[in-house]
């Protein structure tokens, strides 16, 4: 054997370089053929070979039938075979579950309000500096040709045909979209609201000298201004929100201890209204449509510092009566009234983190349910969870809720994107 190996080595040494390269190439080719045959024999021969004996091979096609995906819930031949593993469904109308929330404007819509026709909404576009109207089908109409760059805040009139615009350079203007008339207001005026008839505005006048600070009212052109209540150092304790009844032009709220506040409506004509006490911190409120009651929210340790909603009488001799929790853990800025005033629609966070009332921005990415509250009977029900049209996945938080006059459409602005979405309430 050793002689054979020595002869092979001498033969190999006698070959030229080109002959050695040819020998090496041939050896590699032979090795590849042998390996390929072995792979075929082990892995693929049984897949392409013919059937053995009388086996039914379905005309040579391998049997690739999937297993039965129907779930036999009763585990017998006569059981229910209608239950299947299906994708999540999304309701087109608000029926209490995941509900289609369709994007009707994919830009950043700011300062959203119900349009004067009661069916569409109006908004400000900071890119163009103009105001627009959009309906439930996404049809956009320019509200006015006027361009207002750098609008930081908008206070709409009740009929949405006028607005106070607060600009980033500090100027305040009142614009009438019907007459295309613009009025320049004093820079020291802030916290605006319109009277129930839209012929006056309320405001806080806050110059540097605290002795000159007042809660006041004026005509829409800024004329006829008069002081209602001195503010001094208490401007942060007073909200200039005009009651729809016309009775109150603002509300004073101040702490009486660490967990309670004293709330006092401020009359337009020096009326001395009753006060009432609310528990918790972060007091914020909205008048009901008739001004006879107030929806408000506060937070406390008992609610994990998340806002809770209440309703209380706020008119005449009954101010402070029937102070009742609505058992909804949300804030008033996530609610809107129907045109009749009988129903309240609110976005309620699901499993909010601790401290949502203290830091509301933490709720922007939290899933929300939509609730409807019947303010006449006190009944409430979950009517929808805003969901994506494809996967049924719940969306981020709604803000700036608006409901059409006929209560067929709920509009809202998505907090994280500024997109306008709509949910159909009625078919």
Conformational region of residue 136, where left means phi above 0, alpha means psi within -120 to 50, and beta covers everything else: alpha
pTM of the predicted model as reported, rounded to 2 decimal places: 0.78
86, HSE (Cβ side, Cα atoms, 13 Å): 7
Residuewise pLDDT in 10s, the chain (427 residues): 555 545 656 655 666 666 666 666 566 666 666 566 665 555 555 444 444 444 443 444 344 343 333 333 333 333 343 434 455 678 999 999 999 999 999 999 999 999 999 999 999 999 999 999 999 999 999 999 999 999 999 999 999 999 999 999 999 999 999 999 999 999 999 999 999 999 999 999 999 999 999 999 999 998 999 999 999 988 889 988 999 999 999 999 999 998 999 999 999 888 889 999 999 999 999 999 999 999 999 999 999 999 999 999 999 999 999 999 999 999 999 999 999 999 999 999 999 999 999 999 999 999 999 999 999 999 999 999 999 876 667 789 999 999 999 999 999 999 999 999 999 998 6
Beta-bridged to residue 162, according to DSSP, are: 176
Q: What is the pLDDT of residues 42-62, one digit of tens each?
A: 555 544 444 444 444 344 434
How many helices (H) does the chain have, and how many strands (E)?
Answer: 3, 29
Task: Provide the token pair at 347.
Answer: 């976005």
Contact 221, 201 (CB under 8 A): no
| Alpha carbons 293 and 220: distance in angstroms, whole number | 27
- How do the domains of the chain map onto residue ranges? 2-48, 98-424
pLDDT of residue 258: 86
What is the per-residue burial (b if ≥16 Cβ within 10 Å, else e) of 114-153?
A: bbbeeebbbbbbbeeebbbbbbbeeebeebeeeebeebeb
Both structure tokens of 346: 């609110």
What pLDDT does residue 271 have?
Answer: 86
Report CA-CA distances (Å) from 207 to 43, 144, 214, 236: 88, 33, 9, 14
- In the block, which residue shows the tokens 């693929």? 44
Strand partners, 266: 250
Please give the CATH topology (third level) of the domain spanning 98-424.
Methylamine Dehydrogenase; Chain H (2.130.10)
**Among candidate residues 306, 341, 335, the one with its CA nearest the CA of residue 398:** 335
Q: Give the pair of three-digit tokens for residue 427.
A: 């078919």
Residue 354 near residue 306, CB atoms below 8 Å: yes
In angstroms, the Cα distances linking 105 to 65, 416, 417 are 46, 14, 11
**Contact partners, residue 190, CB within 8 Å, separation at least 6:** 166, 172, 203, 204, 206
What distance lies between CA 268 and its chain's CA centroid? 36
Residue 66 has what pLDDT? Answer: 36
| Phi, psi at 417, each rounded to 5° | -115, -25
pLDDT of 85: 46
Place of tokens 């350079």: 169
């Amino acid at each position: 054997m050793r002689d054979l190996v020595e002869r092979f080595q001498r033969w190999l040494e006698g070959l030229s370089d080109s002959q050695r390269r040819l020998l090496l190439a041939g050896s590699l080719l032979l090795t590849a053929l042998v390996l390929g045959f072995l792979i075929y024999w082990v892995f693929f021969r049984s897949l392409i070979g013919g059937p053995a004996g009388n086996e039914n091979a379905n005309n040579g096609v391998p049997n690739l039938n999937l297993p039965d995906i129907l779930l036999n819930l009763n585990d017998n031949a006569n059981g229910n075979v209608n239950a299947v593993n299906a994708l999540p469904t999304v309701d087109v109308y608000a029926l209490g579950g995941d509900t289609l929330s369709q994007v009707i404007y994919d830009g950043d819509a700011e300062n959203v309000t119900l349009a004067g026709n009661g069916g569409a909404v109006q908004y400000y576009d900071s890119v163009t500096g103009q105001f627009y109207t959009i309906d439930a089908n996404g049809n956009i109409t320019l509200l006015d040709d006027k361009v207002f760059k750098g609008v930081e805040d908008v206070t709409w009139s009740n009929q949405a045909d006028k607005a106070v615009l607060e600009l980033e350079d500090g100027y305040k203007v009142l614009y009438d979209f019907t007459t295309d008339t613009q009025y320049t207001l004093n820079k020291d005026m802030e916290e605006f609201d319109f009277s129930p008839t839209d012929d006056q505005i309320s405001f806080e006048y806050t110059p540097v000298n605290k002795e000159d600070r007042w809660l006041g009212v004026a005509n829409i052109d800024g004329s006829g201004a008069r002081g209602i209540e001195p503010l001094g150092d208490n401007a942060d304790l007073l909200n200039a929100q005009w009651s729809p009844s016309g009775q109150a032009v603002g509300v004073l709220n101040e702490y009486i201890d660490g967990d309670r506040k004293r709330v006092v409506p401020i009359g337009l004509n020096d009326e001395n209204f009753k006060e009432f006490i609310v528990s918790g911190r972060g007091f914020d409120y909205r008048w009901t449509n008739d001004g006879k009651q107030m929806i408000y929210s506060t937070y406390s340790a008992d609610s994990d510092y998340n806002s809770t909603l209440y309703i209380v009488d706020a008119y005449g001799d009954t101010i402070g009566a029937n102070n009742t929790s609505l058992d909804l853990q949300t804030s008033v800025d996530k609610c809107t009234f129907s045109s009749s005033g009988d129903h309240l629609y609110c976005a309620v966070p699901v499993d909010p983190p601790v401290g949502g009332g203290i830091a509301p921005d933490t709720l922007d990415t939290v899933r929300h349910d939509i609730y409807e509250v019947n303010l006449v009977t006190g009944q409430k029900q979950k009517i929808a969870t805003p969901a994506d049209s494809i996967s049924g996945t719940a969306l981020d938080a709604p803000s700036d809720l608006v409901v059409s006059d006929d209560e067929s459409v709920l509009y809202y602005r998505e907090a994280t994107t500024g997109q306008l979405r709509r949910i159909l309430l009625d078919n």
